[in-house]
């Protein structure tokens, strides 16, 4: 079974780039729901950073991974 996870990268120009996942990663069984969650997370992070005056470049996406259950 394939599940989807939200991934992203946040870059502060001339400082560094940081790869991230959701604060409490969720498994999405539907790609469309994952993309919606990724977009919402990206928008929220972008808004918070720009409100603090931090210039930021941000990209979020979903990655499909094989999932074989909790105990595999």
Contacts of 13 (CB under 8 A, 6+ apart): 55, 57
Give the predicted TM-score (pTM) of the model. Answer: 0.83
Question: What is the spatial distance between Cα 40 and Cα 20, in angstroms, rounded to a whole number?
Answer: 14
Distance from the Cα of residue 49 to its chain's centroid: 15
**Predicted local distance difference test score (pLDDT) of residue 45:** 94
Q: What is the pLDDT of residue 41?
A: 94
pLDDT at 22: 86
The pLDDT value recorded for residue 70 is 67
| C-alpha pair distances (Å), 56 with each of 3, 14, 19, 42, 44 | 29, 10, 13, 11, 12
| Confidence at residue 69, expressed as pLDDT on a 0 to 100 scale | 72
| pLDDT tens-digit series, residues 16-72 | 999 999 888 899 999 999 999 999 999 999 999 999 999 999 999 999 998 877 654
């Amino acid at each position: 079974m394939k599940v989807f996870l939200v991934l992203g990268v946040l870059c502060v120009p001339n400082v560094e780039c940081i790869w991230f996942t959701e604060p409490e990663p969720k498994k999405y069984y539907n790609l469309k729901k994952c993309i919606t969650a990724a977009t919402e997370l990206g928008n929220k992070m972008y808004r918070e950073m720009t409100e603090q005056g931090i210039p930021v470049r941000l990209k979020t996406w979903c990655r499909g991974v094989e999932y074989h259950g909790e105990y595999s």
